[in-house]
Chains A and B, each alone.
Chain A
Amino acid sequence: MTTKIKDFESAIKELETIVKKLETGDLSLEKSLEFFERGVSLSRFCHERLEEAERRIEVLDERGELKPAPDDLAFADEGHLDPENKR
């Protein structure tokens, strides 16, 4: 199975489907190993995608020009961590 992985969403869905199929159990060894390989690449893809986005805040002006956000916004989250973040 070398089908291209479309996006994060479809990857996670496919991974769920594969696990479900494996759980039913009546697959040939060949097939389930194929699924296993596919599943491994899917989960790798998902982990990679989660890290892919670039931490950045930009501001779009009326003329459609992009510039970085002012510092007070870019660091709005820093300095006071809330309990949910302490882990």
Chain B
Amino acid sequence: MIDSFALPLGEPSEAAKTKQASPARASSQPRRIMTVSELTSEIRGLLESSYSEILVDGEISNCRLWNTGHLYFTLKDDRSQLKVVMFRTTVRYLKFQPENGLRVIARGRISVYEPKGEYQIVCRHLEPYGIGTLQLAFEQLKEKLKKEGLFNDERKKPLPALPRKIGIVTSLDSAALRDIIKVLRRRYPNAHLLIRPARVQGVGAADDIAQAVTQISTVPGVDVIISGRGGGSMEDLWAFNEESVARAISASSVPIISAVGHETDFTIADFVADLRAATPSAAAELVITRKDEYHDRINRLSEQLRTRTLMQIHEYRTDIRELEQRPGLSGLPGRVAILRRQITELAHNLARGSRGIHAIVERRYHALELRLEGQNLRRTFSKLLTQLVSSEGKLHEAMQQVAMKRRATLVELSGRLESLSPLAVLARGYAVCWDAKRLSVLTNSNKITPGDSVRITLHRGELGCVVKDTK
């Protein structure tokens, strides 16, 4: 500032000449007196035609967004300032947020506001200086959402171990979608997939993606979502850096895996999502564990479960064997063995009906044995004893039945025998006459000649006789 004032003082001769020259020239012509409006209008014409398309580099200050939607700020460098206005229609297309201190390049035209005699630049395009617009926008949104806590770990929802339906938001005819399907099918052949197609680049893509995410997250059964697209330029991937997408992702009650571009591409969606996958295929791998791995894991656990339980049963069985050795219980196996032998013997003698009982008792016995062998030791002895007692009871019953049957047969047989027995007749005074050798009973006298010996059986005792005559 000092310099600019010092300049005319330092060289008075030049300045003086110019000053003197002007009135002289003016006096030689008719005086032209302009109104303020005329002058301003003329200036406006000059400025606006000369500076209809300019680029200005400066730092933003006094930045204010009015209620009307127009943006006003001042561009300055170390010596000058320039007023800038940006109308609502252009503000809408700004990717980044103009803020004080930011160095930008403004493109536009000079416009003079006649009522105030002020000139300003009407900015049609604004870009950050030395850094890409998108890059800046990215940084700004990232910073903003981070401050809101949208990237915080405690917001991240865990993925389900076994999703019922897997939601996918991406472009329907993309290689990314095919990759996802292929990987999912390989890992989990019967997975249920639900695709919500969305435009993933170009005008309106961000809103489409945001709407798709919101919509699919409310479909019943969808308990995880993959959202993303394949690789491309930063412009191609841009939709995933838009605030609307970030908001939709963070609002979803269903966990979302974000998979945009390649390994090296990071988007705002990645930061907001519950999980970031390097690529769409990687997302498919993260979303579900291989089915056979699950089967293996469960089988391993079941196997451990079985062996652990069996080992424990084995330990208890050892304990029981020790118990069995104790005097109070030592008779038990012996008693079982005796009962079993008896039952086997009986089985041979019994009629078909009682064989059934045998089978029942035998089965019970086996069941008991199995319990001793196998897993169901839990009611152990009390149960075993109850079973024993009941089978003992059954045995007794069976034996008694058999004994009764036999007794009845005996009584019947001896009744019949009784009726056939000659002894009964003898008791009534009859006698039996045998030949001398007592081989055959004599029924005809012509077989005997006088002088032969015969024997006679009486009810009690026997007589040896000699025949005197025959008739």
A residues within 8 Å of B by Cβ? 7-9, 12, 15-16, 18-19, 22-23, 25, 27, 29-30, 32-33, 35-36, 39-40, 43, 46-47, 49-51, 53-62, 64, 66, 69, 73, 76-77, 82, 84-85, 87
Interface centre among A18, A40, A50 (most CB of B within 10 A): A50
Q: Is the interface of B mostly helix, strand, loop or mixed?
A: helix
Does chain A have a CB within 8 A of B178?
yes
Binds A, one of B183-191, B238-246, B340-348, B349-357: B183-191
Task: Assess the A47–B189 pair: CB atoms within 8 A.
Answer: no
Residue in B193, B295, B377 whose CB lies within 8 Å of A56: B193
What's the Cα separation between A58 and B222 when bound, in Å?
12
| Most A CB within 10 A of own CB, among B185, B216, B298 | B298
A22 lies within 8 A of B161 (CB): no
Q: Closest A residue to B159 by CB, please name it.
A: A9
Binding site for A on B (CB under 8 A): 160-162, 164, 172, 177-178, 181-182, 185-186, 188-197, 211, 215-216, 219, 291-292, 294-295, 297-299, 301-302, 304-306, 308-309, 312-313, 316, 375-378
Q: Contact check, A60 vs B196: say whether CB atoms are below 8 A apart.
A: yes
Question: B215–A53 contact, CB under 8 A?
Answer: no
In whole angstroms, how far apart are the Cα atoms of A56 and B377 in the complex?
Answer: 47
Q: Which of A8, A33, A53, A77 contacts B192 (CB 8 A)?
A: A53
Which applies to chain A's interface (DSSP): helix, strand, loop or mixed? Answer: helix
Measured CB to CB, the nearest residue on chain B to A25 is: B312
Q: Please indicate the chain B residues that have their CB under 8 angstroms from the CB of A43 in the complex.
A: 298-299, 301-302, 305
A55 touches B190 (CB 8 A): yes
The 9 residue pairs across chains A and B that have the minimum distance between CB atoms: A77-B185, A22-B308, A9-B161, A8-B162, A39-B305, A55-B190, A36-B309, A43-B302, A60-B196
A62: chain B residues at CB < 8 Å are: 211, 215
